[in-house]
A and B are shown apart, each in its own frame.
Chain A
Amino acid sequence: MNGLLAAPRAWIETFGEIAGFCGQVLGQVFGGRVFRFFGEALRQAGILILSSTLVICGLVFIIGLQCGIEGAYFTRGTGTPTYAGVFAAWCDLRELVPYAFGYMMAAKVGTGIVAELGSMRISDEIDALEVMGINSMTFLCATRLLASWMVLPFVYIASVGAGFFASYLAVVVQIHEVSAGGYSLIFWMFQNPPDLLFSAIKAMAMATVIVLVGCYYGYNARGGPVGVGTATAKSMVLNIVLVHLIGMLGTQVFWGANPRAPIGG
């Protein structure tokens, strides 16, 4: 019986550790301690902008094309090609753009943080920071979280734009069964500013979780290079699960009770 309970007990223990760690990092950001290292936060923000914006927008662009193509062929099949914008609007803003953003954040930013902090841990760089009298958690983790909050809303809005543009290209330019005006009318009718806000909240929740999980696994890596590799894999698994959980909960909370669709008056 004890053997059967060992695995769930270990998961709960790990979950508790991660929650405690996240609480400490969030406390350092909200408590203002992180602003002692604002320069480092700016540096991390610069790294995020330069290394991740293009790749996130690129992936979301492809997802936008996919939503457009799917919407155009589906509405053609039902004899309502002018309504391709409905599918594209919902697919882009509510579901696939946040997911694509989450996937790329987990794959690029999350694993990058684990690898960087993990290698710092095993080469004693984190201990070196500590003995210099610098709170390594604030310097390494809280600054990364602050940087992500400073940068990622804008990156997300840019990626949403890339997705919208891609859907437009697929429906209007490539498949061309609806005019530009007809597509835009329906596309914009089925979304409004609060939808964009909800979508951004979903994406930022994903981004926050991904950065915190990455920091946890990197900061606590042990066991040499193999340990860093294992930590990277674990973080990726957990992040993908959490991205889907947040996506599902977000949809339920923001659009579950009220789908916010201009149908039936």
Chain B
Amino acid sequence: MSRSDFDKDRPDAEERPAEAFRDDEPELAGEPERAEVDVAGYGLQVEDAETEAPDELDGDPSSRISVVSESRPRTDQEEFRWHTGTKHSVEGVEDAIEFLDVHKAFGRNRVLRGLNLGIPENRISMILGPSGTGKSVCIKHMVGLLYPDQGDILVHGESVPNMIDDELFEMRRKFGVLFQDGALFGSMNLYDNVAFPLRQHTDKGEEEIAEIVNGRLREVGLGDANDKMPNELSGGMRKRAGFARALVLDPDIVLFDEPDSGLDPVRTALLCELIKEIHEENGGAYVVITHDIASARRVAEFIAVLWRGRIVESGPAADLFASENPFVRQFLSGESQGPLGME
């Protein structure tokens, strides 16, 4: 089943409503008194009265580190005040994937709220944004694992939500996807995992398959791990194996769902280098979902910053890193001061 309701409306951890996360937090006994402060127009915020900012910051409330929670509903104008939607164009490059005013909600939790985004062809694009803003939901819409409540998603000009099952399965062959934990099949060894798409979708003989699979495994540095089962591999190895499997059919578009999650900085850097090298070799549109700025600096050619279900700003990496937008500037510099709080 590809389009069943069971698939379509299955929320992931990232898609949990904000209230659900708040409910999980233990109540602290003897919690300090809280005071409401409107900090530099960033919305009504609540901060611990006892957590005073240092004296030198007193005159600049926006410099305070504050724990923020929404105490009243915000208007769209307030919520999207930093969302200029500016798209710095990449000249001469067409979009491989387009989101057109996409809305998606899980119950009362509105995840995508009018998303407009173009992913350029032949570039490594990164969708960056704070946790829980709908990045993984974006990826699932691209491959038709989720369907929008409103709006459209085009892959090479074809509308994904309007495809019938057979067209959808055909279209998905353009994609390779690296899931967060590799999503290797637990019942198969590494070799069979990588060979699986070839066996299902091509008429190649076992010798040819072996040649391709071994080549891909060598490329990701797992040439000696053919016989290992997924549960015998480290997190980094599973990701690299997932990468090899994603590439084995030479896809036009490769999606990476937080390839850096759970990896140490060195392995993250090595994985990023690997992505770059393989992109240089194979080309195609690579889309990386992350909130790791170091990875973005290392590999991104195009960046889209997603917040509250809409693009704040998107464009070539250099333009985004030089952006004057306070939200983009804060997020890409990883600073605590700015429009983004703990909400």
Query: Which residues of A pack against B, CB within 8 Å?
Result: 17, 21, 24, 119-120, 123-125, 127-128, 130-137, 219-220, 222
Contact = CB atoms under 8 A, between A and B. Distances in A.
Given A24-B4, A222-B10, A133 B169 contact: yes
A218 B262 CA distance: 27
Contact of B183 (A21, A125, A134, A137): A125
Contacts of A128: 177, 179, 183, 185
A132 B246 CA distance: 8
B145 A133 contact: no
Interface in B95-153: 140, 143, 145
Contacts of B22: none
Interface of B: 1-2, 4, 6-7, 10, 140, 143, 145, 165, 169-170, 172-173, 175, 177, 179-181, 183-186, 196-197, 200-201, 249
B287 to A, nearest CB: 13
26 contacts: A24-B4, A123-B181, A123-B183, A123-B186, A124-B179, A124-B180, A124-B181, A124-B183, A125-B185, A127-B140, A128-B185, A130-B145, A131-B143, A131-B145, A132-B173, A132-B200, A133-B169, A133-B173, A133-B200, A133-B201, A134-B169, A135-B2, A136-B2, A219-B6, A220-B6, A222-B10
Contacts of A136: 1-2
Contacts of B6: 17, 21, 219-220
A17 B197 CA distance: 31
B165 to A, nearest CB: 7
A244 to B, nearest CB: 27
B328 to A, nearest CB: 30
A132 B170 contact: no
B2 A130 contact: yes
Contact of B172 (A130, A137, A222): A130
Contacts of A21: 4, 6
Given A130-B143, A131-B172, A133-B173, A119 B181 contact: no
A131 B170 CA distance: 10
Most B Cβ at <10 Å: residue of A120, A124, A219, A222: A124
Nearest to A37: B200
Contacts of B10: 222
Given A120-B185, A127-B145, A130-B172, 6 more contacts: A17-B6, A124-B181, A132-B172, A132-B249, A136-B1, A137-B4
A46 to B, nearest CB: 12
B196 A125 contact: no
Describe A's contact surface by its main secondary structure: helix
A120 B179 CA distance: 13
A127 B179 contact: yes
A84 B177 CA distance: 65
Nearest to B257: A124
Contacts of B201: 132-133
A55 B209 CA distance: 38
Nearest to A141: B1
Most A Cβ at <10 Å: residue of B170, B177, B200, B249: B200
Contacts of B4: 21, 24, 137
Nearest to B140: A127
A125 B181 CA distance: 10
Contacts of B7: 130
Nearest to B200: A134
Contacts of B249: 132
Contacts of B2: 130, 135-137
Of all A-B residue pairs in the complex, the 3 with the closest CB atoms, nearest first, are A137-B1, A124-B183, A128-B183
B15 to A, nearest CB: 11
A135 B1 contact: yes
A132 B196 CA distance: 9
A120 B249 CA distance: 22
A207 B140 CA distance: 35
A179 to B, nearest CB: 52
A40 to B, nearest CB: 10
B160 to A, nearest CB: 12
A119 B186 contact: yes
A7 to B, nearest CB: 20
B13 to A, nearest CB: 8
A127 B146 CA distance: 11
Nearest to A28: B1
A125 B185 CA distance: 6
Nearest to A119: B186
Contacts of B172: 130-133
A42 to B, nearest CB: 14
A57 B145 CA distance: 42
Contacts of A17: 6
A211 to B, nearest CB: 16
Most B Cβ at <10 Å: residue of A119, A123, A133, A222: A133
A133 B197 CA distance: 9
Nearest to B187: A116
Nearest to B5: A17
Most B Cβ at <10 Å: residue of A119, A120, A128: A128
B1 A24 contact: yes
Nearest to A39: B199
Nearest to A47: B187
